[in-house]
Amino acid sequence: MFSVIIPTLNEEEVIRSCIDKIREIDQNVEIIVADGGSSDNTVEIAMAQNVKVCLSEKGRGRQCNAGADIASGEILVFLHADTELPATAFDLLNEYFQDSKIQVGTFRLRFDYNHWMLRLCSIHSRFERTLTRFGDQCIVVRRSFFDGIGGFPRSPLFEDLGFIRKAGKKARIHRFRGTVQTSARRFLRNGILRQQLLNSWCIFLYFLGINPEKLALLYERHNRAK
C-alpha cells in the first residue's frame, strides 16, 4: 500500500540508517531512493540495501516526481533522508487513508537537538497553515491525488511549499497524529539563529512571488549545508 520515496544528494552518512529505520517499522514497505547526482557513495549504499534506486536531475521536486514514477504503492510517503518516522507511522497512515476523503497530510515535527528556537519551530508545525508545512514533516499523499495535481513543482527551492499550496486548493491538508524527528544538522553547522533568519527571509520572498531560481541562488550562496 505504501511507497516511501527518499530524495537524496550526498547523503552517505544517513541513508543506511534511514532505510534501516523504515524497515524496523515495516519490512514490507516499498522504499525508493531518488538521487539527484550524488558525488559520494549514497547510491552504492542504497543499492546494497536492496531498495529501488532511480536517478534524476538535481532538485527535490524533480527527484520526488522521479521516485513517484516508479512507485507501486497507493500511498506515497515523501521522506527526507535525515528524518525518522514515528514507530507507528504505517498503522496510523493506514487508519487515516481508509477514509476516501483524506488525500494528503503531514506529521508534526521535532528536532533531534534541544534549543528554544527549534522547539518554537516544532510548535508551529502543529498549526494547519501553509506556512507551517514543509517537506521535513514528511508529506504523505494518495497516488491518484498526486497525479491529479501534477506532482511536485520542478522549482529548485520550496518544492514542498509549492506542492502544499497546490494540494490545499483541492483538498484539506491533514495533520496526522504522531511526530517525525528530523536532524538539526544544518542549523548546527550554520548557526541556529543565522539559519532560521535565512529560512524565514527566503520564505518571505517566495510568498512575495520572487522567482524560486533566484531564491535558490541566494540560499545556496549563504548556506552550503546540503
pLDDT average, residue stretch 195-201: 84
- Backbone φ and ψ of 194, nearest 5°: -60, -45
User: What pLDDT digit, counting tens, does each position of 117-142 carry?
Assistant: 888 877 766 665 555 678 889 999 99
Least confident of 24-38, 46-60, 108-122: 108-122
User: What pLDDT digit, counting tens, does each position of 46-100 carry?
Assistant: 999 999 999 999 999 999 999 999 999 999 999 999 999 999 999 999 999 999 9
SS3 95: helix
CA distance 138 to 109: 9
Could you give the percent of the chain with pLDDT greater than 90? 65
Give the confidence band of 225 by pLDDT, cuts at 50, 70, 90: very low
Rg (CA), the chain: 16
Neighbouring residues of 144: CB distance < 8 A, sequence distance ≥ 6: none
CA distance 49 to 40: 16
Q: Which of 35, 65, 55, 54 is nearest to 149 (CA)?
A: 65
Domains of the chain: 2-186 (3.90.550.10)
What torsion, rounded to 10 degrees, do the Cα atoms 93, 111, 83, 212 define?
100
